[in-house]
Chains A and B, each alone.
Chain A
Amino acid sequence: MPHSETVNEALETSVRQILRATLGLGQRPLTAATPLLGSLPELDSMAVISVITALEDHFGITVSDDDIHARHFATVGSLVDFIHAITRPDR
């Protein structure tokens, strides 16, 4: 899914904050294009689960096992798109 212009900025900010806090990234720059899986050494399997849990708590969503998939964790942008798709009211 291409990174959509319609993605709400607040959502992207929240996702970036959750990534920063959960992975302990400090002030390292994170943009939509920042690669995640395979690029961030902090992102091991326990960290992936922590990120998902933090996203679930923050957005009040449930991520299904099917969605623990590399396509959603490729970049910051793909993760934002994924959360956007889950939280969209018309889903």
Chain B
Amino acid sequence: MTRSSTSLLPFFLPASGGQRYCLLHLPAPESGQKRPPRGGIVYLHPFAEELNKSRRVAALQARAFADAGYSVLQIDLHGCGDSSGDFADARWAIWRNDVHLACAWLQQRVSGPLTLWGLRLGALLALDIARHPPVPLARLLLWQPELSGRRSMDQFLRLRLAARMLADNGQKEAPGHARAQLAAGQNIEVAGYTLAPELVHAIDDIDAARLAPTAPAPAVPVYWLEYSASTATLPAPAARLVQQWRSEGAQLHIAAFDDGAFWSSAEIMECPQLLQATRQLCGDWLTEPGSVPHGR
């Protein structure tokens, strides 16, 4: 797909403690004729270095959505990317507020249904937001969602151990040291990012399997893309949650992609399978009315 008539608008959105860097992908008007807007999509990026590693694939998908007629808003959350604030200032509540702002901003400008699309921890943030959405949401699109905040933080803290193992400089860190520092209310540094205990502890408390006591499964349709050879070979935690959500009556659509772990890969990747699988999985809202659907 080489249509490049979609437009890209970078801007800063005023928010608490400064401003947030945003990128707005707008659909191209079709052959000079203004077509009706199909809706808005807010993209929530993953955590720390994964944000940088995944920029390319997120941009490719955002462009594909714009090609299909959607307006996509990518927002760098507080303390991340090109937004105000240091990573140490980031808090889950501020991020939630940033998402509220982004949704309201987009909905004021683009009519049609609003989709929240998140990658990794951004997907867990989308699930958390969907419990009490600031504006009505049409659906969630989850790319390789983090399912347990606690586990995602434990994995991130392990980067300190892995970095020391790779450096092999003889410095050893006692296991659990990072957690102990956080419990004592101290900031810690991991892979060049300073984390406040308030942020880590807030993320620890979010679990996709326990979103709300009364309505555990998301109330809006969920489109889920998971890195796996097929949906028959999902990692155990994902398979468990799929089963749980289905038994709770969630409208869940799931597909697998096999390109690779682009959010953590040493090489910047493009993910044709993921983009293709997303297009197919989301066919019911992505395929243009009147156009010939692909493979359905």
- Interface residues of chain A, those whose CB is within 8 Å of chain B, are 21-24, 37-38, 41-50, 52-54, 57-58, 60, 64-66, 68-70, 73
Contacts and interface: CB of A to CB of B under 8 A. Distances in A.
A24 B269 contact: yes
Contact of A49 (B158, B168, B237): B158
A45 B155 contact: no
A19 to B, nearest CB: 12
14 contacts: A24-B260, A38-B168, A45-B162, A45-B166, A47-B266, A48-B166, A49-B158, A50-B264, A53-B155, A54-B235, A57-B235, A57-B237, A68-B161, A68-B165
Interface in B150-172: 155-156, 158-159, 161-163, 165-166, 168
B175 A66 contact: yes
Contacts of B158: 49, 52, 65, 68
Nearest to A21: B260
Nearest to B157: A65
A60 B176 contact: no
Given A48-B166, A60-B236, A24 B161 contact: no
A88 B36 CA distance: 61
Contacts of A50: 261, 264
B251 interface: no
Nearest to A58: B235
A48 B162 contact: yes
A48 B158 CA distance: 9
